[in-house]
Amino acid sequence: MNTRLALFAAALCCAVLLYPAARPTAAQQAASTATSSWISDLAFRYALTPDVTYMTANNYDDKLDVYVPPGNGPFPTLLYMHGGGWTNGTKDASGPGGTNPTAFVFLPFIEKGWAVVNVEYRVARISLAPAAVEDCRCALRWTIQHAKEYKFDTNRVVAMGNSSGGHLALTTGMLPSLAGLDRQCPGAQELKVAAILDFYGITDVNELLDGPNMRPFAVTWLGSVPDRDQVAKRVSPLTYVRAGLPPIMMIQGDADPTVPYTQSVRLQKALDVAGVPNELVTIPGGKHGQFSRQEMDMIYTHVWAFLGKYLPKAGS
């Protein structure tokens, strides 16, 4: 048994049992019991390959973790990018003080039997923009190149992230090769994903550099390079909206104090004009993540319906 995965499963089981819920219904209690039973068996069924170096840049080893379910595959695969304003967070933990285990975020996909590639990338203290974007594009290339080894279904790779990770999920799936942001990991493979799940991610980096919506984390990530505005545009998802993109789902609270909700609205409007399948799930009064249990249930009802509609069928 993988010790790291066993410890994760034990902690997760405790978290599920202790998760606060006001007056849970009988259905919720039954679901909680079933989930707890499933989690207790997790470490015996999933294979975890941790800390795989997928590229080296600026003398820094970029690493990722791979979770593979039992069976012959190939499996639908989640490519997950953590949040942290491009300045902090890791593939292991994010949030204030690094107290939120990242693996909890993609647990719904583990439960559905997906493979997961959990990506770490260069944050600002290591390399300024566009390094994080380059790294995640290279993580996608690594995923495609190692599909046979890890049983990934390259026709059913979904990019997902929250906050700055949502931005990176968008750039990973939206960038054309002509953008030149995957030159550090050359290869013949077409870098494409089947869908993108953007949880309250940044879509217009320039807006966060100056004016009323200036955010220190964005200023830190761009630094003081003379062509700062050009770099910000180069890494902004709104720059790359065009016909032929994969389906994109955006999830955001309309009272988000960190990333303006209008950024998701603008992206949705641009995608509509371009004819790109998309959906914006708005959490009324929602902040920057930290949604309630009921809100997360609603969100994942939309997520599974969206993927059921747009994700290619197995073997296609």
Give the pLDDT confidence of 57-92 residue by residue, as tens digits. Answer: 999 999 999 999 999 999 999 999 999 999 999 999
* pLDDT at residue 287 tops 90: yes
Spatial CB neighbours of 221, under 8 Å, sequence gap ≥ 6: 85, 86, 87, 124, 128, 129, 132
Q: Which one-letter amino acid corresponds to residue 267?
A: L
* pLDDT at residue 4 tops 70: no
Sequence length of the chain is 316
Burial of 214 per CB tally in 10 Å (0-12, 13-18, 19+): exposed
143-167: average pLDDT:
98
27-47: average pLDDT:
64
186-213: average pLDDT:
96
* pLDDT at residue 16 tops 80: no
91-101: average pLDDT:
79
* pLDDT at residue 14 tops 70: no
pLDDT digits (tens, 9 = 90+) for 156-192: 999 999 999 999 999 999 999 999 999 889 888 899 9
pLDDT digits (tens, 9 = 90+) for 209-263: 999 999 999 999 999 988 999 999 999 999 999 999 999 999 999 999 999 999 9
* pLDDT at residue 277 tops 50: yes
Report pLDDT for 315. Answer: 77
pLDDT band at 298 (very low <50, low <70, confident <90, very high): very high
* Distance set, CA 56 to CA 120, 134, 191, 230, 312 (Å): 12, 12, 19, 25, 33
* pLDDT at residue 22 tops 80: no
Report pLDDT for 21. Answer: 42
Report how far residue 139's alpha carbon sits from residue 273's, in angstroms, rounded to the nearest whole number.
30
Spatial CB neighbours of 137, under 8 Å, sequence gap ≥ 6: 171, 172, 175, 181, 182, 185, 191
- Total-model pTM: 0.90
Query: Residue 197's closest CA among 307, 75, 74, 85?
Result: 307
Alpha helices in 67-162 (DSSP H): 107-111, 131-145, 147-150
Report pLDDT for 98. Answer: 66
* pLDDT at residue 8 tops 70: no
Report pLDDT for 20. Answer: 41
Least confident of 13-22, 115-124, 213-222, 262-271: 13-22
Report pLDDT for 7. Answer: 43
Residue with tokens 């679901």, as numbered in its chain: 31
Determine the 3-state secondary structure of 220 from DSSP: helix
* pLDDT at residue 44 tops 90: no
99-112: average pLDDT:
90
Neighbours of 189 (CB within 10 A): 16
Report pLDDT for 210. Answer: 96
